[in-house]
Amino acid sequence: MSRVRTAMLVVIAAAIGGAGGYWYAPRQPAMPTLSLSVEPAAAADRTILYYRDPSGAPFWSKEPKKDAQGRDYVPVYSDEEQSSAPQQKKLQAKGGERKPLYYRNPMGLPDTSPVPKKDSMGMDYIPVYEGDDQDDDNTIKVSVDRVQRSGVRTEKVQLRTLIRPVRVPGIVRIDERKQTVVTLRAEGYIEELHVNATGETVKAGAPLFRLYSAPLVQAQLEYALAIKASRNLHDASQMAMVDGAARKLRSLGIPESRIREIQESGTVSRTIEWPAPGSGTVLEKKVIGGQRIMAGDELYRIADLSTVWVIAEVPEQDIGSIVLGDSATVTFRAFASQPMEGRVTLVYPELKAETRTGRVRIEVPNPDGRLKPDMYADVVFHSGAEDKPVVAVPDSAVIDSGTRQIVLISKGEGRFEPRAVKTGRHGDGYVEALEGIKEGEEVVTSATFLIDAESNLRAALKGFTPQEPPK
């Protein structure tokens, strides 16, 4: 037994001795030693941008700091920040890298930061890169979702012919160039009337009445005697007498048909059938059968109504837009379902002081004579129909403050640029843009009040709140 115990003790001692040799002469692993020598070198090459709260609260510091519980703020390195920025990831995916210029408030408040931070609600500030215009003073940023919910609509600027309808009242008048008055240049007597009622229609050359006039009979006799004498003598003096007698007859207004009759027959009738000087309708008749007529008395007034004038009363503010040749649609109240087309032939040079209106003349055909003088009409002038196309925007796109006009240019993705324009003529729901915009740009046509309110609010906040300049 003693030998067995002695052998077991020797084995245990040998084992303990071998194990003790391993413990006292340990071999250090290689990897931990390499890591201790490399990490400090890598940390020395990295740039610390700032220090953040270890609990994740929205607190930041430029210098090392401890929180209220004594914990160190966690350093944030430049490579970590760039890799965590969503917009930077997109840029790296596209093969380009940009460094943020500064960070702006996510709610649009006038507050910027040179380093990333969070607002009071925990939302990250938005990085702004060089070339971005989303924080430009000339650009308004509205979320795409809000744009869609607010019903914002845009329209491309195009060249248009602006036709401005001007609606005014009018009245039918007689064409002054087609009126004639029947008078005599010598006294006489009406022996018979052939046209004895107002409103009758006569043709040029048709007899109006039969007249006896002693001076006219005397002048005819002189002409007949001069012709008879010239046939016998054939000298120059006698021919001069014939010409003088003929001129006297024409001076007294005797019709050419009567003068030719005397030349051919050499006889003189006691009475003359007085012809109508022109075709038309008898508007006035101031003579009766047997009446004595003095020289210069007006016997008939005849007017040709195949064409009539419509005199429109145009307000002073619209008179400048109407020019000669403009087309006009005339609707007579007696024939409301049958509008007629006409042309502007004259813009009268004077203005009525009482009504502040100017008169415009339109010629309208009246072949069937249904249009009567003094009829009322409604006139629509199509001003600008013959003009060249111009750059025009919808009326709803213009924000008029009274002193200037502004349109909102859509730049896509909820970005809008307010731009001052100079406007001109209006027509068909559009307004001419003389300056400030060009063809092909997109303008906001609806919900402009929303974007304008965003712009005014931002301007007001910037005016009352000092901004931290970007670094």
Determine the pLDDT at residue 3: 46
Joined together, the tokens standing for residue 286 give 């101031």
Answering whether pTM is above 0.85, one says no
CB 249 within 8 A of CB 215: no
| Residue at 218: amino acid letter | Q
Reported as a single tens digit per residue, the pLDDT across 422-442 is 888 777 788 888 888 888 888
Regions of the chain short of the pLDDT cut 50: 1-42, 81-95, 133-135, 457, 460-461, 463-467, 470-471
> What three-state secondary structure class fits 7?
helix
Query: At 103, phi and psi to the nearest 5?
Result: -125, 135
Determine the pLDDT at residue 8: 42
CB 315 within 8 A of CB 168: yes
For residues 52 and 223, give the distance between their C-alpha atoms in angstroms, rounded to a whole number.
129
Determine the pLDDT at residue 87: 46
Determine the pLDDT at residue 50: 75
Determine the pLDDT at residue 265: 87
Reported as a single tens digit per residue, the pLDDT across 2-33 is 443 444 433 333 433 443 433 333 444 444 43
> What three-state secondary structure class fits 87?
helix
Q: Nearest-CA neighbor of 227 among 263, 251, 188, 197? A: 263
- Find the angle CA(335)-CA(340)-CA(345) to the nearest 5 degrees: 130
Q: Which residues pair with 235 in a beta bridge?
A: none
Joined together, the tokens standing for residue 329 give 């649609």
CB 384 within 8 A of CB 431: no
